[in-house]
Amino acid sequence: MLRSCLRIIGFSLVVALSSSIPSLPDASAAQTSSPSGSVTAKGRDVLLDLGTSHGLWAFSSSRNAWNYLHKQSIKSAVRADVNRNNLADTVIDFGSSLGIYALLDNGNWQQIHNLTAKWIIAADFDGSGRDDLIVDFGDPYGIFMLKDSTTWVQLHANTAKSAVVADMDHNGRPDAVIDFGDQMGIWVYQNNNTWVGLHSVSARWILRADLDRNKQDDLVIDFGPAYGIWIRYNNTTWAPLHGVSAKSAIASDLTRSGYLDTLLVDFDTQYGIWKYSKYLKPSEWVQLHGLSAKGLLSIDTDANLQDDVIFDFGSQYGIWKMTNNASWVQMYGISSASMAGVTLPSKNLNEFPGASTDSTRFLTQATFGPTDGDTTRVSQIGYRAWIEEQFTKPRSYHGTFWDSENARLKAASGGDQTANGDQVTGSFWKQALTGGDPLRQRVAFALSEIFVISMADGSIDYYDDRTRGVAAYLDMLGDGAFGNYRTLLEAVALQPMMGRYLSHLGNEKEDPESGRLPDENFAREVMQLFSIGLVQLNLDGTPKLEGGLPIPTYTPADVAGLAKVFTGFGWYSTTLNDEYWYGWKSNAARNYRPMVAYPQYHSTSEKAFLGVMIPAQVEPDPLTSLRVALDTLYYHPNVGPFIGKQLIQRLVTSNPSPAYVERVASAFNNNGAGVRGDMKAVIRAILLDPEARNSTITASYGKLREPILRISAFMRALNAKSTTGRFPVGRTDDPSYSLAQSPMYSPSVFNFYRPGYLPPNSASGDAGMVVPELQIANEVSMAGYANFVAYALSNGLPLWGTSKGDIKPDYAPLMALATTPSELAERINAKLLNGQMSDTLKAAIANGVLTITVPDATATNKAAVDEAKLNRVRFALLLALTSSEFIVQK
Amino acid sequence: MRNIDLNRREFLRRASALSAMGAGAPLAINLGCIGSAAAQTASDYKAIVCVFLNGGNDSVNTVLATDTPSWTRYSALRKQTATTIGLMPPGTAKVPTAPGTNQKLGGVLPVVPTTAQGTRTFAIHPAMTHMKAMFDAKRAAIVANVGPLIVPTTKSQYYNDSVPLPPRLQSHNDQQSIWQSFAPEGSKFGWGGRMGDILAGLNGSRRILTCISTSQSTVFLAGNDMIPYQIGTDGAIRIGWDWMFGAPTATQVIEQVTTATRTHLLEQDTAAVFSRSINTERDLRAALPEKTAVGGTTAIQYAHPVTGVMSTNRLAEQLQLVARIIAAQATLGVKRQVFFVSIGGWDTHSTQNDNQANLLARVSHALNYFDQTLRTLPTVGDLSANVTTFTASDFGRTINSNGDGTDHGWGSHHFVVGGAVKGGDIYGNFPEIGISDKKIGYDNPNEVSRVLLPEISVDQYAATMARWFGLGDTDLLNVFPNLGNFDAAKRDLGFML
């Protein structure tokens, strides 16, 4: 099929070379522009091969994050949909050792061929609607097409130098422009059936563009130093562009015209990189940069229909990005072996924060607040690896703290004083502010707002040694954070403090004589709050509807039936008699060891609930009843979306998209290895999801930080320490003078706020959003919070009492910036607002700080100077911490 | 047992004929309709105060029928032993050394309603001595067997699923929401807020002070326009102090920063809270009288019903703040206000004897303190006939007990207190207290599944007060979505003067 004769197109030689910057042709008359053309590589993510020492990386533009793909350096990469699902994949040629692979949109790798290629191009050459690959396997194989990514067909026995995709005959179907080298020149494989000669001279490089904006592809061809750069307009006319041959070039849409009408031409070190467009004023050519680049890539990273350009300026300068033809930013300090514009899969990648503020933003979701140490660690090893590392961190136990404090207090008071609720909150704050396993602690806290117990009422009580059981409860939630939901559910059901709180400890079977029936409290709440919720849910968390109305998950009859299951469970004891049941005698560990079954108090009658029936038991069998009940709840399809969505709300955003909820609920249903209820899988799904990592913030994204989290972020960012090591914060639930929230002091089993709270007459309520944490953010509590912060800044925590000021932040790093208010504001931005502070707020903080006079330093006034600087820091922090920009986590 | 599915289908079948229970829908009236009827030109002041008992108060032990047949049945059900929850008969002396709380409390306190109900006699919980005094003085009324209903519902209609029923009965958060807004959790407007929408015009520029809560954020006070104003028992809190951290204009800078305009929706709402907080505090700062002018810290102390130990009554503390705000009414120029206060702990699945006694003592003491205080307010004098206070709760509780407590119920009895109340009477038919048992051929028409089937709907209860407050017929039917389903003659229960 090879044509041996080619038409040779005559052309005149162009301008003679000169050693100075070449003179440029006059701009020709501008074409009238027409709407919409195509833009470059539609992928937004930048694939960067950083060589054998660093491996293959990609930068996700939407998530502002680096992804490590493979340890091996590559030969080339191209974007194509090879698994035929209309989602872009990345075809990567790893070289002869591995061959050609595709990184599919779902994150899986698929081998395309074990041979390596000289070049690969991708397009729908045969018009079938599916991408085809044209692969040049070199001698002795030749050029092949992988039609529709399924069938191999040889196109030519010869091998070629390079190839480019362009629609030469303007019939809407891409063709392949293939440069066979000096012997055969450049040919077009047109419409998947015809070879058409284009030129007998081989090129240094060829690219596709639309320089005249007429929606028909032009080619820009550099024929080498002898002939210079030419343009093949619309497959009809040749026109010279420049007499100087260039190292490389790319076509780009830098002006948002809708056409690839701008060229960036790299004339090598002598002349640097120039920009050319017919439409450029005042001159068609303008120098863009004096440096030559190792590689150029045109790619629209921010999806605004205006291309950005990535420049690899070599190892001395690294990789830079010119965004929207305007601003320059360095992307990476080292050079790459090659670059390509691709679309990364949205999951299963090991992502790294693009900037340290991405790291702090992640830690705001995953912990009680970012610290320098954690921020650095996330930047070093990436999000996924950090999470995995957190799963292995050693534990500190609240119970241990309570016990040691109890011993200390007793010794110090001669036996009068014992540990109580204060030691529970002390342990909570100690671990929240300084614990070595921040992810576990954060998730345990979130769980404590779902599986609620509280010391606020008499059932557990603040003063009692039952608070040892509350410490144990928090430890149990810590176990549950990284365990299995089924184990957690059972641990909750048997925890004695839960037994006290929801009154199923000591719950007795029905007594037909007196008419007494078992207490229904726990049975109701274990369904309503701890497992399945009130209405049937789809996997994406939306309610199922029948006739337009939600479908209840249970009836009062189910509650009554389930209540019988939770009878006969009582205080831990090795002797199961009335004395221990009623508590006249007690085992020393009863406040924290799981409840045990006292069969004589367990209901043996038939128990029917949720479509399940436990038949009447001849011998009471509480553990079987319990197992059946908990299994029934565990396997209910509601659990994934019900619990998953609430965890998303606690950590990331109050109004997740149904798709996000579905992804998390799916992870609950199956962790990938066939296991249901794997909390680690749920945590990964929540924190690594694009909706969590995506750094583009919309007006409805995010959540209010609840008061405990505002204070913890503040204290952690400033490295707060407790003088005594006991973190005696105490209760903080007063709204007028404190935080309106105290850990483990919820006013009811419904937590301090409801997941479905709709704020009245509010911007978010009107938009149909729920804003749970706003339920406790009102005119009195916000004022109380602001004053609390002000006093905490003045004196540390707690605000009053014998331990006043025990916990103090470290202001020294910020004090160094006290005389440069803008920098102070910017540092606070980085530490507390994840780099999201508006210019208005920065200015307000800087100006506010300036109203505080710092006296000129003299020999004797150091204390006054320091106090003034400290006040500046305090005031700046107060403004930052009470701003809505901080209070809202996004 | 009642089949939920049948009920829903039946409900849907009838939905077109009746007001729907969709969240917000019945209460989202066209703003053009507001301001109908009288109130826009009222010269007097009126306030309604909702005292919400969070958790569901056991009404069966709060108001009791003490005639022999009633009491016999009650005693058989609840038993008066040291470990059961039955209360002692009227006239029983207190036995401070008895093992059981009920013996310590002594007998229930007889009350004689003006209107006889057959030969039945009545009493209230022994801890409510102040309430008995108010009832006797005709300052307090009892409304019996109230609960959420969509239409009048008989026992057989309930079991046959032949009428629509309120959703999610016996679920705490949903029933609290239904009492306050006639829709389950997630509802947008409460009837307190809706009354505020209609009458806020009378408050001129002080609209923000129309709906006020001293307690937690609830839907009761949310309206189309109304945003509940939240205030703590120490009054509005001022942010910051002069020369904070050496900054001469600190409070202004803080105000500028906290209330800054933002495009992010959550930030907008956060800033709006700060704005309301700062602006309203300025208004109230000068207008509120001191606590000492309304009884100070001593008047809000109450005696524990068993131990006699005095302590601060947090409910009275909230009502003290309400009294101070009411006293500022003339200074601020407000004419119609709706208040929400609350007291929690009523979910007595266990240890009911101790807990309920203590809670009822607080309610009784607090309502009496409030009524007394309203008669001698600083600046404005006696406004006790201008303020009506009522109790509400998630639900009543089961007629039977689970040992030392009770579980979630439905119908409940409540108190209405004030100078404008036709006190000293029981409104509504006092229900029979007993659990139907086919085996012995006993059927209680007022009982379904061991709980009281309400005879009076929350709509009727609330509308009676709303009418006094100033809403006309059209507004009443708009604000109370189920009111139209009840006999026109019963839409006003008649307990207001």
Looking at the partner chain, which of B217, B264, B402 has a beta carbon nearest the beta carbon of A516?
A: B402
Looking at the partner chain, which of B185, B229, B262 has a beta carbon nearest the beta carbon of A754?
A: B185
- DSSP state, A181? -
ipTM of the complex: 0.82
Per the listing, tokens 């604000």 go with: B479
pLDDT for residue A428 is more than 90: yes
Which residues in chain A have their CB less than 8 angstroms from residue B12's CB? 547-549
Confidence of residue A631 (pLDDT cuts 50, 70, 90): very high
Give the helix/strand (H/E) hosting A353.
Answer: strand A350-353
CB B131 within 8 A of CB B367: yes
Domain ranges in chain A with CATH number 2.130.10.10? 45-246+337-348
Core vs surface per residue B194-208: b (16+ CB within 10 A) or e? bbbbbbbbbbeebbb
pLDDT for residue B33 is more than 70: no
Confidence of residue A348 (pLDDT cuts 50, 70, 90): low
Instruction: Give A465-489 pLDDT, tens digit per residue.
Output: 899 999 999 999 999 999 999 999 9
Question: How many Å apart are CA A205 and CA B309, to the nearest integer?
Answer: 95
- For the stretch A371-375, contacts whose Cβ atoms lie closer than 8 Å and that sit 24 or more positions apart, written own/partner, are A371/A716, A371/A717, A371/A719, A372/A719, A374/A438
Looking at the partner chain, which of B221, B249, B405 has a beta carbon nearest the beta carbon of A503?
A: B405
Torsion of CA A878, A884, A886, A889, to 10 degrees: 160
Per the listing, tokens 């109900």 go with: B117
Instruction: Give A500-516 pLDDT, tens digit per residue.
Output: 999 999 999 998 877 78
Binary contact (A747, B408; C-beta < 8 A): no
pLDDT for residue A31 is more than 80: no
- Considering A44-53, A190-199, B133-142, the range whose residues carry the highest mean pLDDT is B133-142
pTM of this structure: 0.80
Distance between first and last Cα of chain A: 61
Structural domains in chain B, sorted by start: 4-13+47-235+288-490 (3.40.720)
pLDDT averaged over chain A? 90
Which pLDDT score, from 0 to 100, does residue A516 have? 80
Binary contact (B350, A852; C-beta < 8 A): no
Which pLDDT score, from 0 to 100, does residue A41 have? 41
Which pLDDT score, from 0 to 100, does residue B42 have? 66
Q: Facing residues of A273 across strands?
A: A266, A289
B304 has a chain A CB within 8 A of its CB: no
Question: How many Å apart are CA B89 and CA B75, to the nearest integer?
Answer: 9
pLDDT for residue A3 is more than 60: no
CA distance A406 to chain B (A): 28
CB A818 within 8 A of CB A852: no
Biggest alpha carbon distance in chain B?
A: 81
CA distance A514 to chain B (A): 7
Instruction: Name which of A872, A858, A853 is nearest A815 in CA terms.
Output: A872
- DSSP state, B208? G
B99 has a chain A CB within 8 A of its CB: no
Binary contact (A779, B247; C-beta < 8 A): no
Q: Return the structure tokens found at A673.
A: 């290895």
Binary contact (A519, B405; C-beta < 8 A): yes
The helix/strand/coil state of B439 is: helix
CA distance A221 to chain B (A): 49
CA distance B135 to chain A (A): 31
Give the helix/strand (H/E) hosting A340.
Answer: strand A338-342
Confidence of residue A70 (pLDDT cuts 50, 70, 90): confident
Which B-chain residues 465-494 have CB contacts (< 8 A) with chain A? none
CA distance B144 to chain A (A): 24
Question: How many Å apart are CA B132 and CA B125, to the nearest integer?
Answer: 9
pLDDT for residue A566 is more than 90: yes
- For the segment(s) A45-246+337-348, the CATH number from 2.40.110.10, 2.130.10.10, 3.30.750.24, 3.30.160.20 is 2.130.10.10
Binary contact (B270, A507; C-beta < 8 A): no
Cβ-based neighbours of B404, under 8 Å, separated by 6 or more: B83, B84, B85, B350, B351, B352, B353
Which pLDDT score, from 0 to 100, does residue B216 have? 79
pLDDT for residue A245 is more than 70: yes
Binary contact (B408, A520; C-beta < 8 A): yes
Span A392-420, mean pLDDT?
A: 95
Cβ-based neighbours of A81, under 8 Å, separated by 6 or more: A87, A88, A89, A105, A130, A131, A149
Span B289-308, mean pLDDT?
A: 94
Residue in chain A closest to B344 (alpha carbons) equals: A747
Looking at the partner chain, which of B240, B264, B268 has a beta carbon nearest the beta carbon of A790?
A: B240
Instruction: Name which of B146, B153, B197 is nearest B24 in CA terms.
Output: B197
pLDDT for residue B38 is more than 70: no
Cβ-based neighbours of A303, under 8 Å, separated by 6 or more: A44, A61, A62
Confidence of residue B170 (pLDDT cuts 50, 70, 90): confident
The helix/strand/coil state of A846 is: helix
Looking at the partner chain, which of B237, B267, B402 has a beta carbon nearest the beta carbon of A519?
A: B402
Distances (CA, A) of A484 to A71, A217, B154: 33, 58, 47
Which pLDDT score, from 0 to 100, does residue A347 have? 66
Binary contact (B224, A761; C-beta < 8 A): yes
Q: Facing residues of A340 across strands?
A: A47
Which residues in chain B have their CB less than 8 angstroms from residue A869's CB? none
Q: What is the DSSP string of B233-298?
A: TTBSPPPS-TTGGG-TTHHHHHHHHHT---SSHHHHHHHHHHHHHHHHHHHHHHHSPPGGGGTHHH
The helix/strand/coil state of B32 is: helix
Binary contact (B265, A763; C-beta < 8 A): yes
Which pLDDT score, from 0 to 100, does residue A796 have? 96
B295 has a chain A CB within 8 A of its CB: no
Residue A161's CB is within 10 A of a number of other CB atoms, namely: 19
Which B-chain residues 155-194 have CB contacts (< 8 A) with chain A? 167-174, 185-189, 193
Residue B2's CB is within 10 A of a number of other CB atoms, namely: 15
Instruction: Give B431-478 pLDDT, tens digit per residue.
Output: 999 999 998 899 999 999 999 999 999 999 999 999 999 999 999 999
Give the mutation candidate from B264, B359, B449 for the A interface (greatest A CB count, under 10 A): B264
CB A770 within 8 A of CB A756: yes
pLDDT averaged over chain B? 90
Question: How many Å apart are CA A580 and CA B335, to the nearest integer?
Answer: 60
Which pLDDT score, from 0 to 100, does residue A884 have? 98
Residue in chain A closest to B231 (alpha carbons) equals: A780
Which residues in chain B have their CB less than 8 angstroms from residue A754's CB? 173, 185
Cβ-based neighbours of B150, under 8 Å, separated by 6 or more: B18, B19, B21, B163, B164, B165, B166, B457, B482, B485
Residue in chain A closest to B256 (alpha carbons) equals: A844
Looking at the partner chain, which of A549, A783, A871 has a beta carbon nearest the beta carbon of B237?
A: A783
Tell which phi-psi region holds residue A83, choosing left (phi > 0), alpha (psi between -120 and 50) or beta: alpha
Instruction: Name which of B361, B427, B417, B423 is nearest B386 in CA terms.
Output: B417
Binary contact (B274, A884; C-beta < 8 A): yes
CB A614 within 8 A of CB A562: no
Binary contact (B4, A555; C-beta < 8 A): yes
Binary contact (B237, A787; C-beta < 8 A): yes
Which B-chain residues 10-69 have CB contacts (< 8 A) with chain A? 11-12, 54-55
Rg (CA), chain A: 34
Residue in chain B closest to A510 (alpha carbons) equals: B402
